[in-house]
A and B are shown apart, each in its own frame.
Chain A
Amino acid sequence: MPDNPSARQLTYAEALREAQAVAMERDSSVYIMGLGVPDPKGIFGSTLGLQAQFGADRVMDMPLAENAMTGVAIGSALTGLRPIITHQRVDFAILALEQIINQAAKWHYMFNGRYKVPMVMRMIIGRGWGQGPQHSQSLQALFAHISGLKVIMPATPYDAKGMLIAAIEDDNPVVVLEHRWLYHIRDAVPEGYYTIPLGTARLVRQDKNAAVTIAATSYMVLESIAAARLLEQQGIKTEIIDLRTLRPLDETTILASVRRTGRLIVADTGGARFGISAEVISLVAERALANLKSPPRRVASPDYPTPSSPALADGYYPRGPHIAAAALEMLGRPIDPHMFDPPTDRRLDQPDNTFSGPF
């Protein structure tokens, strides 16, 4: 990620939009469909203006039929096109699980390599402002369980652009999980074409004196950075890994960091049980158990659906202090209970005070 402060800044949504524009300009077989793609809101800004630029044949709205439209995308991908199908919530995409799991993930394998299925499925993870049980699920573990799919969760605008272009160019079905609370984040994003290879994690922080590795997904990367700042105040150094691709998982980067630090926390936006955090910890238990100085920890969602009311939902989402507390426990250090006090500049159901709903 470039650190030049004078470089051009884009939001995550603008970076996604630019990735699609760049890919469509380079390859006429790329097309986009999704409910609301050309509407005035343009998928929270991530498809705004694309229909005007590329025409209604290549940037299309679609019927409310997620399963069949995923099949249409697959059929077009088998025969030479490169579809991008977009879902405003992950929760809507699971109507298409039959086509995603039985078909998209299988046609290359079950027909002995005769077919490729180059398609991208964009899905947005909702959060906050009362999104509730069916508008805020973080189901990366469900998709990552399926061989034949690739699953990515870019956490920065720079990665969002480079990884989405790589996903569009990939010859496999790629699930792109975009956290709604990342959409307004700004970052330096180069103009034009560049890609970030799928399957590579990003070492956000490296320190030879680090006492703990925090491996994080998506929005939890930001919470991990907040945790690292809290820990630094107490003289504790951390390494942070942005997993960013879950399948295929960058095992090398995870194992190398844990071998350096001897401690592992996995911070995931999804549920802890049977989740990404369980998979990462299993990997370390199988391959680097002797390097662990203390039991690894999961900081992830609790084992119940997301409630809507802020009174119930505020406690649902772990934050930076929860990650920091896990590290302090591992190190046998005291925990200041005020560490968990809510922030004073925003309510917990907003990513920042500029976000005022409704979705």
Chain B
Amino acid sequence: MDMTVTKDALRLRLYRSMMRIRLLEEEIVRRYPEQKMRCPVHLSIGQEGVSAGVCEALAPDDQVFSGHRSHGHYIAKGGDLGAMMAEIYGKADGCAGGRGGSMHLLDVDAGFLGAVPIVGSTLPIAAGAALTNLMNKKNVVTAVFFGDGTVEAGVFHETVNFAALKKLPLLLVCENNLYSVYSPMAVRQPQGRSIAGLARAHGILSLEGDGNDVEAVYRLAQQALAHARGGHGPAFLEFSTYRWREHCGPNYDNDIGYRTSAEYEEWRTLCPIERLHANLLADGHRADELAALKAELQQDVEDAFAFAEASPFPNAGTASDHVYA
């Protein structure tokens, strides 16, 4: 993929991808108080660099699974925006027909195979999809996104052990945003032990980088994917990043006592979108050109919300459908 994409075209693609996530989630923030989106939302504003960088490096046929904070991964993999918003609005045209809500997105055609909010649960499921690809000799890599808390769960170690054993074409992407809900790293993991090191101890390729530098994310993802695609087994990526808004919901929560405004402000200066915006300007792109691109993406977002609002609610009589295939 890299050979055919110039550096400038790549930067523009990464910018579009991150901006699409940011604008859609900012629109959720604006409209959430209307109380029409009646399900929890876990926003990834501030963390768009990991979603965009990794998914840009994936091939269209590659597969993605995710967890509770999945909007960015779904959008970056090319998930349909209208179906996503209709799902969050609980509508019939939602990607899960209104059965899942924000925490159960999927767009199989785009290669986004599903998200669930039980931390760590999609790791072995992604490994199972990778096993299918290995058995069927398909040149497909399965990626799974998760947070720093996941490495504390037994299922993480069980999955990495099996993936290493079978040399599965699996990419494990850890977004380390320092908090599990409101619990900081210091109360959950021993000081001085790295998450990437935990994965390395299982005997697999493990790399770490700045998740708010989208181009660095892209390069590391390419390296990891070449490894996984080459039959060398799974690869692990740990990216440092930061969620700007509250764990669940549209607001800021720097005032409730679990983290400081100073910490937030420091991460705010590391905005992955603003950093790439500066690079694009330095490349010679004009501010009004980038503003026009943003306006075009905002229109996509407006269309997605309009689609969701216009979609009917599912018929209550269908609630017991699809218990058994």
The chain A residues found within 8 Å of chain B, CB to CB, are 31, 57, 62-63, 65, 67-81, 98-99, 102-103, 107-118, 147-148, 150, 171-172, 248
Contacts and interface: CB of A to CB of B under 8 A. Distances in A.
B118 A74 contact: no
A63 B155 contact: no
Contacts of B17: none
17 contacts: A68-B123, A71-B121, A71-B125, A71-B127, A72-B124, A74-B125, A75-B125, A75-B126, A75-B129, A76-B129, A77-B128, A78-B113, A78-B129, A80-B132, A113-B325, A172-B324, A172-B325
B158 A114 contact: no
B127 A102 contact: no
A71 B161 CA distance: 13
A117 to B, nearest CB: 8
A342 to B, nearest CB: 44
A112 B99 contact: yes
Given A111-B100, A112-B99, A114-B106, A67 B136 contact: no
A114 to B, nearest CB: 6
A109 B155 contact: no
Contacts of A148: 323-324
Nearest to A67: B155
A67 B123 CA distance: 11
Interface of B: 96-100, 104, 106, 108, 113-114, 116, 118, 121, 123-133, 135-136, 154-155, 158-159, 161-162, 165, 321-325
A31 B98 CA distance: 34
Contacts of B158: 63, 65, 67-69
B49 to A, nearest CB: 27
The 6 closest A-B pairs by CB, nearest first: A75-B128, A71-B124, A68-B158, A112-B97, A65-B158, A75-B125
Q: Which of A62, A76, A107 has the most CB of B within 10 A?
A: A76
Given A108-B325, A148-B323, A81 B161 contact: no
Given A63-B162, A109-B322, A111-B96, A72 B131 contact: yes
Given A75-B132, A78-B114, A115-B114, 19 more contacts: A63-B161, A67-B124, A68-B155, A71-B155, A72-B131, A74-B128, A75-B127, A75-B131, A76-B132, A98-B121, A102-B121, A103-B125, A108-B322, A109-B323, A111-B96, A113-B325, A114-B96, A116-B325, A171-B325
A71 B129 contact: no
Contact of B135 (A57, A63, A77, A103): A57
